[in-house]
A = this chain, B = another copy of it.
Amino acid sequence: MTDPITSTSNPRIKDLVRLRNRRHRDRSGRFVIEGYRELDRAARAGITIETVYACPDLYLGGNEPGLVERLMGAGAEVIEVSEAPFRKASYRDRPEGLLAVAPHFAVDLDRVPLDGEPLVLVAESIEKPGNLGTMLRTAEAAGADGVIASDPTTDVFNPNVVRASLGTLFQVPVAVGGTPEVADHLRRAGVRTLASSPDADTPLWEADMTGPVALVVGSEQYGLSDEWMNAADEVITIPMPGAVDSMNAAMAAGILLFEAVRQRSRES
């Protein structure tokens, strides 16, 4: 076993801090998973974990040692870290004593299964990692077959995506692609695309969301691109009776997904 880390200037701690930076993540092809729940979901999903950094003094409950053992059994290197360097490496105000480094996993379009009658969420150019993470969590709750980030502004390996997704990033199939490529991929698979726009006339509940369907939502600031508006089979809207005509992008995705859940539950 590697010696415990006790110094905040240990090169591994510095590496963890650098992994907050997208360029460093992209270059090294690795990312950070922090927290018990997140790491537990990664382990259950069979995500390869390279190294686990454990600080038992910060554990909140009694399940952490078992999880660390499972990860070690699956081939992860485990390094104990004392509190000061752990806090330096942690992304959180209240660290839970578990942090891991994993190699990027594949996010090709064929990761999302499109056979049968899939329900897919497509999110274009989402800027805020928290929104992308919330979309993943909500898509998982809705039983969606996958989430496709089209022309993403934030990368799916951003620590705040991992966090806001509560680790569902490892459960729901995730893919990334350029907008024309994603639209083409869905069209060839026979998946109908429903684009959401504040300017459309058809309320979401009048669109047919049964069968193979992809719900397409745009960025927080700019909405959907013309590219998507033209490529989509149908353009729908979430009617807003209130004075405010904007909605959080993740909220819009959730309302669309659960309208699909409603329609699809009646079908069966």
Contact residues of A with B, CB < 8 Å?
Answer: 134, 137-144, 166, 168, 171-172, 203, 205, 238-248, 250-251, 254-255, 258-259, 261-262, 265
Contact = CB atoms under 8 A, between A and B. Distances in A.
24 contacts: A134-B248, A137-B244, A137-B247, A137-B248, A138-B247, A138-B248, A139-B242, A140-B244, A141-B245, A141-B246, A141-B247, A142-B240, A144-B242, A166-B244, A166-B246, A172-B242, A203-B262, A203-B265, A239-B265, A240-B261, A241-B261, A241-B265, A255-B258, A259-B262
B242 A140 contact: yes
A240 B203 contact: no
A258 B143 CA distance: 19
Contact of A134 (B168, B245, B251, B259): B251
A244 B171 contact: yes
B241 A143 contact: yes
A262 B261 CA distance: 14
A199 to B, nearest CB: 15
Contacts of A246: 141, 166
B168 A244 contact: yes
A140 B203 CA distance: 18
A230 to B, nearest CB: 27
B248 A140 contact: no
A240 B250 CA distance: 17
Contacts of A168: 244
A239 to B, nearest CB: 6
A241 B134 contact: no
Contacts of A250: 251
Contacts of A248: 134, 137-138
Given A143-B241, A171-B243, 10 more contacts: A137-B244, A139-B242, A141-B246, A141-B247, A142-B241, A171-B244, A172-B242, A238-B258, A255-B255, A258-B259
* Interface hub of A143, A240, A242, A243 (most chain B Cβ within 10 A): A242
Contacts of A242: 139-144, 172
Contact of A143 (B142, B240, B247): B240
B205 A262 contact: yes
A242 to B, nearest CB: 4
A261 B172 CA distance: 29
A258 to B, nearest CB: 5
Question: Which 10 A-B pairs give the minimum distances between C-beta atoms?
Answer: A143-B241, A143-B242, A141-B240, A140-B242, A255-B258, A141-B242, A251-B254, A140-B244, A205-B262, A141-B244
A163 to B, nearest CB: 12
